[in-house]
């Protein structure tokens, strides 16, 4: 978990400068890696509210979690 904690530290520093949809989405993905489903959902929801076109990584597990949380359409296909 050390790398995720380090990544979270650095993304929080970036967010202190300017919070963007990309930063929120990345922070959400880091929380998913840390096993914190609630914070994952919260951060991705905020990211998508800020910018509905925020890039979604082509990571099957992440896409599946976003679909399960109702944050993206069940019909979403990565790369589209």
CATH number at 26 reads 1.25.40.10
Tally of domains within the chain: 1
pLDDT at 79: 62
Is residue 26 within 8 A of residue 40, CB to CB? The reply is no
Q: Is residue 15, in this structure, part of any structural domain at all?
A: yes
Q: Is residue 19, in this structure, part of any structural domain at all?
A: yes
Summarised one tens digit per residue, pLDDT across range 3-52 is 999 999 999 999 999 999 999 999 999 999 999 999 999 999 999 999 99
The whole-angstrom separation of Cα 17 and Cα 80 is 31
Q: Is residue 9, in this structure, part of any structural domain at all?
A: yes
Is residue 24 within 8 A of residue 6, CB to CB? The reply is no
Q: What percent of the chain has pLDDT over 90?
A: 92
Domain containing 35: what range? 2-68
- Per the prediction, the chain carries an average pLDDT of 94
pLDDT at 77: 84
Q: Is residue 46, in this structure, part of any structural domain at all?
A: yes
Question: What predicted TM-score, i.e. pTM, was given to this entire model?
Answer: 0.89
């Amino acid at each position: 978990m050390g790398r995720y904690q380090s990544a979270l530290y650095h993304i929080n520093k970036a967010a202190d400068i300017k919070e963007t949809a990309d930063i929120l989405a990345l922070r959400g993905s880091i929380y998913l890696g840390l096993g914190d489903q609630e914070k994952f959902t919260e951060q991705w929801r905020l990211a998508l509210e800020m910018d509905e076109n925020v890039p979604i990584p082509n990571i099957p597990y992440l896409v599946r979690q976003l679909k399960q949380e109702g944050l993206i359409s069940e019909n979403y296909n990565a790369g589209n």
